[in-house]
Structure 1
Amino acid sequence: MQAAPYHDDVAAGPPGGHAVWADTSDGVRLRVGLWPEGTRGTLLMYPGRTEYIEKYSDAARELASRGYASAAIDWRGQGLSPRSPHDPHLGHVNDFRDFQRDVDAFHAACKGADLPRPWHVLGHSMGGLIALRALHRRTDIGRAVFSAPMWGLPLTPHRRFMAWGLSWVGSTVGLGQRLAPGAGKVADPAAAPFDGNLLTTDREMFAWMKRQIVTHPELALGGPSLGWVWAALREMHGLARDAAPQVSCLAFLGTDEDIVSADAIHVRMGSWKDATLEMVEGARHEVLMESEATRARIFDRIAAHLDQ
């Protein structure tokens, strides 16, 4: 596999971390981060929208200290993977099933790197939606972990109607790669203040995330496109109608979650035969990037779940 850039200067991963390129079946070259040291198995991390592999290096370090190797991916359209030619700062995809091509390339790269088995998945936010689909179609996944999975969005009935209508019309008439209305507030993530942020209550972790994209602005991503919104709504609606996968699942959700729908997570977890939902008191959307004490408890719980 061909080596890809890995920004050690802003990463916090264990020794041996590096990145490689992985090609999808439709010719998209994606960046995959690998932290191969571990003997108890591997956790394949599916990042959320706007995220990139360096942001998961802290999680890789926590996992390595508990005996697990790990890997993460830059989905198409974000990180250092190819972006929209219309606007490289726009989060865009035409169909969420395209992400399953990314999943297949990701798993193939992990196989090529001979990462230790068994393999498990961790899906955060948008990555939780992608992981849910992957659990239905892949057989190489042992157990699942979710962090604030995007199984629904907290929209009022009026906003939901507008989201469906505008995204469908925009995508249909060729405006799918236009910024979705109301997304401008996340257009410059490097300028986002800590006060009032929806991601974490931990000031140091927030500063670390900002330092990554200030140091390497090519990693930053702005708001979603109308096409992304249309694709996400269709995928959430479709998966909500499917039965839960036959995989043991552990999910975490902050009590101060305000980005994804807590109700949708409770409903899905309630229909899952072998699933546990753990509420993280006072945490926001990035439950894996809260205080050091909170992270230690969460990763201890993850390791215990994977060891079962």
Structure 2
Amino acid sequence: MQTAPFFEDLARGPAGGMTHWIVAKDGVRLRAGHWPLEGAKGTVLLFTGRTEYIEKYGITATELAQLGLATATMDWRGQGLSNRALPDRLIGHVGQFADYQHDAQAFFEYAAAMNLPKPWYILGHSMGGCIALRSVINQAPVAGVIFTAPMWGIQMSSLLRPVAWSVSWAADKVALGHLLVPSTTRRPYTENSPFLGNALTTDSDMYAYMRAQTEAHPDLGLGGPSLNWLNQALRETLALASIPCPDVPALCFLGSLESIVEPHEIRRRMRTWKNGTLIDVQNGQHEVLMETPEIRSIVMAEIGAFVARTHVSEPA
């Protein structure tokens, strides 16, 4: 398996991190990576959010290693160093949301090829939480699933929602789905928005950590989504809303200051998830894994407890 570029100094993850090129079944080249951990009692397969990339989760991998868990993650198609769909690489675009399931399948195959310690747990953040839900509905080979601010709905006003549907639908019909969603920009969020008033985290050090990564390596960065991505996201969240929760143990975190995904949809689903737990994170914003040390310690303790109660020993 061919090695891929990896900016280890920016990731600040555990020693020995490595990345490789993998290929989805439709031919899209993806970057996948992992941080090995000797004696690991399992592996977290981290499904990143929109705009994200492997290096962003180096600190998270370090904190998971302290729980005895190895971490693997990847760049979805259209972001990070994976193949991008448009000539303008700063616009987040996807043909259809089902394409992300091709990426997920290639990622599971990568984890198996690397012989990553089982049991496996998915940790899905934001868009990754949407992809993760579809994956576990499709019987992903995991012992449990963890969500942080999963994108099971997108926050917008009641007046804006029908406009978003109609404009994104119409754009596809007239071959304009590649255009940037109005009110968004081509610049990465952390570079375009100051820390004060940002929607991601209350921790200035973590915000600077994210910003420094894309400033040092602009190819990692991604701006706003395309109209087609928005339409596909709206369609997928609507489709998932009607599907019952899968029979997989689940843990979900929702920040009290969430302003990007729709908390109502998260609460609605978690109320009906058998063997599922919703943790309200006080004073947490969208990215609880990038929050203050105090919040991250609470989140990691809950993840550790979840793994302990769902751990299933693999046959020798």
TM-score by length of 1: 0.98
- Pairwise CA distance, 1:186: 5.6
CA distance in 2, matches of 1:304, 1:21: 33
Alignment correspondent of 1:257: 258
Alignment correspondent of 2:312: none
Letter in structure 1 aligned against 2:202: T
CA contact (8 A) 1:86 1:177 kept: no
- Pairwise CA distance, 1:185: 8.2
Q: Which moved more, 1:213-222 or 1:136-145?
A: 136-145
CA contact (8 A) 2:187 2:223 kept: yes
- Pairwise CA distance, 1:290: 0.6
CA distance in 2, matches of 1:135, 1:229: 23
1:244 aligns with 2:245: yes
- Pairwise CA distance, 1:141: 1.0
- Pairwise CA distance, 1:139: 3.9
Letter in structure 2 aligned against 1:15: A
Q: What per-residue deviation string (whole Å, max 9, x for no partner) do you get for residues 98-142 of structure 1?
A: 000000001111111000000110000000000000001134111
- Pairwise CA distance, 1:189: 3.7
CA contact (8 A) 2:60 2:289 kept: yes
Q: How many residues align?
A: 308
Output the aligned Cα RMSD. 1.2
- Pairwise CA distance, 1:192: 2.1
CA contact (8 A) 2:177 2:228 kept: yes
Alignment correspondent of 1:2: 2
Alignment correspondent of 2:178: 177
Letter in structure 2 aligned against 1:121: I
Alignment correspondent of 1:74: 75
Cα 1:188–1:253 change in 2 (3 A) is: closer
- Pairwise CA distance, 1:306: 1.1
Alignment correspondent of 2:12: 12
In structure 1, runs of 5+ residues without a counterpart are none
Alignment correspondent of 1:24: 24
CA contact (8 A) 2:90 2:186 kept: no
Letter in structure 1 aligned against 2:208: A
Alignment correspondent of 1:190: 191
1:302 aligns with 2:289: no
- Pairwise CA distance, 1:94: 1.7
- Pairwise CA distance, 1:188: 5.8
- Pairwise CA distance, 1:39: 1.9
Superposed structure 1 runs of 4+ greater than 6 Å apart: none
CA distance in 2, matches of 1:271, 1:138: 18
Letter in structure 2 aligned against 1:32: A
Alignment correspondent of 1:289: 290
CA contact (8 A) 1:244 1:271 kept: yes
Alignment correspondent of 2:153: 152
